[in-house]
Every structure is written in structure tokens, then in C-alpha cells.
Amino acid sequence: MTVLQEASEASHRFVLDSVRETDRDRFLGALFTPEPARRDLLALLAFDHELARTPVVTSEPMLARIRLQWWREAVREAAGESKPPAQPLVESLSEMMGRRGLDPEKLVAVIDARETAVDGPLDVVRTARSFADLELEVLGVSDQETRAAVREVAQARLTPDAGERAALLASARARRAKVDRRALPVLLPALAYDHPLSAWQRPLAYWWAAKSGRY
């Protein structure tokens, strides 16, 4: 059972600063989400970054698995009725899960997908889909056209193949007329996935895309 355990303002600030510094594109997209969904989305993005860092933090498979297991246990504990571990991101995830009534096993599924990178290439499709579905749950969107577009953008972000990335983005953009506009914050980063934007171009490009419904 998930219960609402409010995180401190310091924890929320930590999460916000972390995403802003490590993932500028998805951070800018998240700013177009109203509160409290913005906080929930930022917590998810910070969580995703922490998992993605695992191969960088350690190249030893056993240590990588220990790190990911710590996150499994932290997420499950954060969903319980007791006070979550005193770690800013865990506290923010706990608040998010409590507010959304979110099953912690859905976050564990993202951890499991990320673990595929410990011994080999990342399972891009599995990782992208599990995380995209979490984003949509936080945004309260469930229709199939929007889900398909968000999954395609998430997969495009992770795929190393330029041709495949272009095809995924083209498919996601072909759905623009049918997507739920509440999902635009997680679709807007597509702007930077095939057309590099300078630091000064990004905010204006995101603002115009959000206003026009294009990504």
C-alpha cells in the first residue's frame, strides 16, 4: 500500500537541481508540467539518471548489481507506511508514489530493464517503454496514440543508431494530431534529438513547440 509521505523542500530542490544539471532537455520539458505533477516527473527523471549512471559509477558487474538492488529495496521501502530512507531522491519518489498510488514494482521494472546493460548492450525497447509508461502515469494520460508517441520518443533518446532514431521520431510526430497535450512535456525533448539546439535556442524552441503542440 502506498501512502503519501511528503518530501522536504530541500529534497525537492536537490532533485530539481540534479535534473537541470544532468538532463537539460528533459528538464526544460518538465517545466511545462503543472505542479504537483512537475515534482513527480522531475523525481522520475532524476531516478532514471541515477540508474543510467550505474555503468559509469562502476564497471564491475557485481558492484553494479548491488547498486541496482539497493535501488529496488529503496523504492519498495519508500512505498511503505514507514518513513522512507533519508535520501533526497528516495524521499521525492516516496511522495510521488503516495500521491499517484503508484505500484513500486513499476519502478522496479525500470531497474530490471536498466540491469540489462550490466553484462551487455542496454535493452533499449524494454527500458524506453517501461519508463515512458511511468511518465504517462504521472501525467494522467493513458490513450494508446499518446502512449505510442511517448514510447517512440523515449526509444529515440536511447538508440545509438541515427537512422532508427530518425524513423522513431518521424513516427511519433505523425501522431501529433492525436496525442493528449498533457503529454507534451515528455514529448518536447524530441526537438533536440535530431536537431541540436544551442543554449539560447532551447527555451524559445520549447516554448513555441508547447504553444503550437509540435515536438
HEC secondary structure over 101-145: CCCHHHHHHHHHHHHHHCCCCCCHHHHHHHHHHHHHHHHCCCCHH
The pTM assigned to this predicted structure is: 0.93
Closest C-alpha among 103, 151, 212 to residue 159 = 151
Residue 81: CATH number of its domain: 1.10.600.10
Answer whether residue 2 is part of any domain. Answer: no
Let me know: does 52 contact 109? Beta carbons within 8 Å: no
pLDDT tens digits, 64-110: 999 999 999 999 998 886 676 779 999 999 999 999 999 999 999 99
Find the domain containing 175 and state its range. 9-212
Answer whether residue 3 is part of any domain. Answer: no
Answer whether residue 1 is part of any domain. Answer: no
More confident residue, 169 or 79: 169
How many domains are there within the chain? 1
Answer whether residue 142 is part of any domain. Answer: yes
pLDDT tens digits, 44-63: 999 999 999 998 888 899 99
Average pLDDT over residues 6-27: 94
Answer whether residue 99 is part of any domain. Answer: yes
Answer whether residue 97 is part of any domain. Answer: yes
Report residue 106 as a C-alpha cell.
513499476
